[in-house]
Structure 1
Amino acid sequence: MKIKQENNNIILEEVDSFDIEQILECGQCFHFDKLEEKEYVLVAKDHLLHIKQVGEKITFYDTDEHTFETVWRSYFDLDRDYSQIKNWLIENEKRVLNQNGALEQVIIEKSGIRILNQDFFETLISFIISQNKQIPHIKQIVNTLSIKYGEPAGEINAKEYYCFPTIEKLSKVSDSEMRLCKTGFRAPYILNACEKILDGTIKEESLLNCSFRQAREELMQIKGVGSKVASCVALFSLSKRDAFPIDVWIKRIMERIYFEKETPKSEIEQFADRIYGEYGGYAQQYLFYYARDLGLK
């Protein structure tokens, strides 16, 4: 990867496994706008970013070196060798199944995905909101909460963007006010998450320092948080790369390419652990985006 600064922009070239459209549109984050083909505005870590990709050239507009190094380098997981991960997944699938598997084609088609290192609280609330919601609706609710209760992040193309609200601010929102943001039945779940974090029942530091399965169990203490939501939070904000969230998309694609029959989620999870191991989260993202494109729901 080559990094250079031009005017007030950071330019990346020769980045392995980086497709900004695949990264942002694969269902792992919801606080962004698409401007043009492979050109986006996103808000993360209390920062605003205008980013555009043309071929292998990626431009971080109005970004100084310090912000790139302290925020975006980690956020986009730029120091991780994704080629090594993809090769391991392909070879291990072949080794365990004793035949060429289906994952190689999936990875080839979605090879530009990187798993973002997101803020824990925003990710938790976003995936609580995600239950029984399509991605455009999730984005809309996240944006509404940010506008109403978050701080201004800046302006791009005459549009004002807002940071996701702090836990202190969101915890003071009433159930009825929360429902006005179209959260519906999820409103008490969001407030319960705030309460459990503020009273110390849920601690980000302890979640970071435990195993994926321990973190999942801890997160499921929150009202309305089941295995899938807890697994997504663990994967996208707690660095649990062995997490393998199973929703309807993953269930269908796994049944299609491996089982060829209706299969319990518990069996799929055990199979994924054996085939994908510590890289289960990466495999999940390749498979999830691929399944969505196929329309398997």
Structure 2
Amino acid sequence: MEPTLILEACLPFELKLRWLQSQAFRWDKCDGWYYGFVAGAPIRVRDHDEGMEFESDVPEESLKPSVKRYFRLTQDIGQVHDALREADSTGQMDELIRKHGGMRILRPDPWECLVSYICSQNKPVSGIKEIADDIATEYGTLITFRDVPLHAFPPAQRLVAIDPKALKKLAPGLSRAERIHEVATHITDGSLDLAALARMPHQHARAVLMSYDGIGEKIADCVSLFALDKTEAFPVDTHIEKGLKPYAEKLTAGKVNADLIHQLRETFGTNAGYAGQLLFLEHYPES
């Protein structure tokens, strides 16, 4: 068994299943540890006074850079918080930072992130997690780590060989199996390159994602924020929309909302993704 490794983090930093699962859905908690995958390796993490403690079944030293990147441990989160406070004339960001300031924007596996959000329409976090877990359990590799069974998420090359009807049968709530098959095909043949999208400006990457049926503005922005490292992305769902009320006297459907959202993206700039996730954590019901 490899020894536990302590990673320092720019504070505040606090692991909570609620924010982990709202970004990368398949994290689980067992006996005080959070279990998941980073860079394809099984891992478990927990809070430490200096930042985070982690273990893996691969040498921790070799995995350390990937873990630090995944959790943004070296990001100057204080600078992010200061910028949000300064940009926000309502004082709401200051309040939310006090409550949820230990959260980070994760950098999950782009392929798993894309599939998860394709499955997300009209589903709560628990519903998205269930479908992603079902796909991994059926088609991914089983790895038993610290006596906990974990399933690696299947690569595009594996899912492209699966009939969409089989995916629908596996997960009755999965209405977009054809979309998963389509993007798996394009990733496998090279016509969709997620690494290349990450190098594009946000609006260009967003447009490529939205060229696929079933990927609208919200899903494209979620994938941009988490999978493509576009922290200026500001996806808005019904929970985040509740937090927009302090920024407008009246919220209505359509253009008024669209104009307000555009304004807030401009206001928060490269930290808009953090602003959105703070609003989400405040307004998403506790499980």
Partner of 1:47: 41
Partner of 2:53: 59
Secondary structure of 2:205's partner? helix
Between the aligned residues of both structures, percent identity stands at 28
| Paired residues of 1:193 and 1:223 also in contact (CA < 8 A) | no
- TM-score after normalising by structure 1: 0.87
Cα distance, 1:62–1:210 mapped onto 2, change above 3 Å: closer
Partner of 1:266: 258
Comparing 234-243 with 15-24, which one deviates more in the overlay?
15-24
Partner of 1:97: none
- Kindly indicate whether residue 90 of structure 2 is the aligned counterpart of residue 90 of structure 1: no
Pick from 48, 64, 70: which aligns with 2:65?
70
Unaligned runs of 5+ in 2: none
| Paired residues of 1:219 and 1:225 also in contact (CA < 8 A) | yes
Cα distance, 1:220–1:276 mapped onto 2, change above 3 Å: same
Cα drift, residue 108 of structure 1: 1.2
Query: Size of the alignment, in residue pairs?
Result: 282
Cα distance, 1:28–1:42 mapped onto 2, change above 3 Å: same
Cα distance, 1:85–1:18 mapped onto 2, change above 3 Å: same
Extract structure 1 runs of 4+ deviating beyond 3 A.
12-15, 22-26, 54-57, 62-65
Cα drift, residue 211 of structure 1: 1.1
Cα drift, residue 46 of structure 1: 1.2
- TM-score after normalising by structure 2: 0.90
Cα distance, 1:294–1:52 mapped onto 2, change above 3 Å: closer
For the aligned residue pairs, the C-alpha RMSD in angstroms reads 2.3
| Paired residues of 1:153 and 1:161 also in contact (CA < 8 A) | yes
- Kindly indicate whether residue 109 of structure 2 is the aligned counterpart of residue 114 of structure 1: no
Cα drift, residue 191 of structure 1: 0.9
Unaligned runs of 5+ in 1: 1-5, 95-99
Cα drift, residue 45 of structure 1: 2.5
Partner of 1:243: 233
Partner of 2:242: 252
Instruction: Please give the alpha-carbon distance, in whole angstroms, between the structure 1 residues aligned to 2:25 and 2:54.
Output: 19
| Paired residues of 1:150 and 1:163 also in contact (CA < 8 A) | yes
What does the per-residue CA deviation read over 1:121-159, in whole Å, with 9 as the maximum and x for residues that have no partner? 111001111111111221121111112111233333x33
